[in-house]
Structures are given as structure tokens and as C-alpha cells.
Amino acid sequence: AGPDPAIEEIKEKMSAVKHKILVLSGKGGVGKSTFTAHLAYGLAEDEGKQIALLDVDICGPSIPKIMGLEGEQVHQSGSGWSPVYVEDNLAVMSVGFLLGSPDDAVIWRGPKKNGMIKQFLRDVDWGNVDYLIVDTPPGTSDEHLSLVQYLSASNIDGAVIITTPQEVSLQDVRKEVNFCRKVKLPIIGVVENMSGFICPKCKNESKIFPPTTGGAEKMCNDLNIPLLGKVPIDMNIGKSCDMGKSFFTEIPDSPSTMEYKKIIQKI
Ligand code: ADP
């Protein structure tokens, strides 16, 4: 078979996007989508930059909920699909916008998932984009392979991997790192989320998930990859996300916001 014309079109379209970042995690529930949304919010604080967030977490698209976009639908525009704008310079496209209700499940086989990723990359009318941030499903799956193939690994700035300090999560991160190395996807670094809990009453830190194996720090040293930062468990993060609001605006001076912003500066 000759080259897939869709892939050529995607490559051409994506060559205009200055930066492309994939957000990965070994497991679900570690804070990957929360991170993706806030990376986009953080980058969009520079009004001169255009940010696009693409949510291809097909089995659990939580970006619409986290960013207060539930019930939004994809609209057809003259030149393709229009994304949903959270701010003038922050456009979002999520597989969740294609579902009738947030409780609908997507039960798709590999080829259909790949077809959708192709459509998202080729047919969405993003306009000029400085940063394309992609929220991917947990683990490594067809979706990751498609993204790496369609965007071409060499043309992606790299992957940010989110984990908790627990060995069950770290174990899967090591697999993720191996995947990245196999497909030659650069690793920007690892974020340890839910790293500890600072009691709002006594201000002491408790290790909710004691890192029995040295946590993300030791893993990053062992694997020679950067640790971008450690974000504590913060009740306000969960609360803001449930309300569909950025915790950067809800709790601007909190240690979590400051740590997140430090991490974004490194990206
Ligand atoms: P994933 O995308 O990895 O499945 P989510 O980003 O959906 O995970 O986060 C899972 C849950 O944990 C959400 O309810 C989110 O609000 C919450 N959460 C994420 N990070 C933190 C944190 N640092 N402190 C408290 N809650 C968090």
C-alpha cells in the first residue's frame, strides 16, 4: 500500500504547530487530565500564545468536566470542526464533545479510535497554534501509537508523565518510559502528583502515599529523566475540578498553584 494521504495531510497541517506535548500516565486516576487542563491554562496566561488542548482519552474523557465544558458539542465550520474556546487563546477539542451525555461510554475498536484521532488532527480548525497539548489515555495503547505515527515522534517536543508516589503507579511509568524510548518520543519529565498532604489546620505534611521505593525522585534518577516537580494533595484541586474551574484562579497563592506554575515554566 502507498502512503496514507490522511497522514500526509496531518503532517502538513501539524508542521505549522510550533510545540506539541503529550501528557501520559501509567495508570488512571493519578491526575493526568487535571495536569493537562492546567498546563493549558498556564500556557494561555501568555496572551500572545495560542493554545490547543486535544483530549483523546477515549474511555474516560474528563477534560469537558474539569474545564466546565460539559454539554458542549462539536460544531462544523467552513473549514472543518470548530473547537470549543475556553478563552480567546485556549481552544479545546474532546472526544467527550462527541458523546450525547457525559454518562455515555465509548466502546470503540482500535481502527475506529485511530480514525477519530486522524480526524481530530486533520479536520479540527485550530487556527494558528503555538502549543498543542494532548491528553492521552492511561497506559500505552493504540491511541499513543497513532499519535506518534501521525505527528511523527521526532516532531513532538515530548511527553510529560504524571504519577503518584506509589510503586503501583511508578511500575507503570517505567513501562511508559520504555514505550517512549522505543518509539523515540522525547521525555520532557515526570510530575509526582498527590505527593503529600499539608494539613490545613496544623500545616504539617503527611505522606498519604509513603514512597516505599523512593518515589518518583529515585525512579527519575535511576532512569535518567527529569523530575519536574511534586504536587501535594490539595482538597481545593479536587473541588475546583469538580466545579469546572481552574484552581489557578480559585486558589492563586496556594503551594499547589505555585508548584504547578514552577513545573509549567520548565516545559
Ligand atoms: P486521570 O486523568 O489521571 O485519570 P484526573 O486528573 O481525572 O486523573 O484526577 C483524578 C481525581 O483526582 C480528580 O477528582 C482530581 O480532581 C483529583 N486530583 C488530581 N490531582 C489532585 C491533587 N493534587 N490533589 C487533590 N486532588 C487531585
Give the distance (Å) from ligand 1 centre to CA of residue 224. 26
Q: Confirm or reject: Cβ of 173 under 6 Å from ligand 1.
A: no
* Range of weakest confidence among 67-81, 97-111, 119-133, 201-215: 97-111
Cell of 116: 477519530
What average pLDDT score do residues 139-163 get? 92
Calpha distance 183→167 (Å, rounded):
24
What average pLDDT score do residues 236-254 get? 96
Give the distance (Å) from ligand 1 centre to CA of residue 78. 37
In this structure, the residue with its CA closest to atom 19 of ligand 1 is 31
State residue 50's pLDDT score. Answer: 98
pLDDT averaged over the chain?
A: 92
State residue 212's pLDDT score. Answer: 82
**Assigned CATH for 5-265:** 3.40.50.300
Determine the residue of 22, 34, 160 to mutate for testing ligand 1's pocket, defined as the one with the most ligand atoms within 8 A of the Cβ atom: 34
Calpha distance 69→90 (Å, rounded):
13
In this structure, the residue with its CA closest to atom 24 of ligand 1 is 233
Q: State the DSSP H helix or E strand holding residue 69, giving kind and residue range, or none if neither.
A: none
Q: Confirm or reject: Cβ of 33 under 6 Å from ligand 1.
A: yes
- Tell whether 32 is in a known binding site: yes
Nearest to 145 by CA among 29, 7, 30, 39: 7
What average pLDDT score do residues 231-236 get? 94
**Is pLDDT of 264 > 90?**
yes
**Beta strands at 187-198 and 205-206: parallel, antiparallel or unpaired:** antiparallel
State residue 77's pLDDT score. Answer: 76
Calpha distance 126→148 (Å, rounded):
19
Q: Confirm or reject: Cβ of 231 under 6 Å from ligand 1.
A: yes
Give the distance (Å) from ligand 1 centre to CA of residue 67. 13
Nearest to 99 by CA among 41, 67, 57: 57
- Tell whether 199 is in a known binding site: yes
Q: Which pLDDT band, with edges at 50, 70 and 90, does 152 fall under?
A: confident
**Is pLDDT of 103 > 80?**
no
- Tell whether 245 is in a known binding site: no
Q: What are 52's strand-pairing partners?
A: 91, 132
Give the distance (Å) from ligand 1 centre to CA of residue 197. 14
State residue 136's pLDDT score. Answer: 97
State residue 43's pLDDT score. Answer: 98
Nearest to 129 by CA among 253, 245, 17, 31: 17
State residue 214's pLDDT score. Answer: 85
Calpha distance 156→1 (Å, rounded):
26
Domain ranges of the chain: 5-265
Q: Confirm or reject: Cβ of 65 under 6 Å from ligand 1.
A: no
In this structure, the residue with its CA closest to atom 17 of ligand 1 is 238
Give the distance (Å) from ligand 1 centre to CA of residue 111. 29
Q: Confirm or reject: Cβ of 39 under 6 Å from ligand 1.
A: no
pLDDT in tens, 69-95: 998 988 887 778 999 999 999 999 999
Q: What is the ipTM of this complex?
A: 0.99
State residue 160's pLDDT score. Answer: 98
- Tell whether 180 is in a known binding site: no
**Is pLDDT of 211 > 80?**
no
* Range of weakest confidence among 24-28, 134-138, 156-160, 209-213: 209-213
Q: Which pLDDT band, with edges at 50, 70 and 90, does 1 fall under?
A: low
Kindly state the DSSP code that residue 124 receives in the 8-state scheme. Answer: B
What average pLDDT score do residues 41-63 get? 95
State residue 164's pLDDT score. Answer: 95
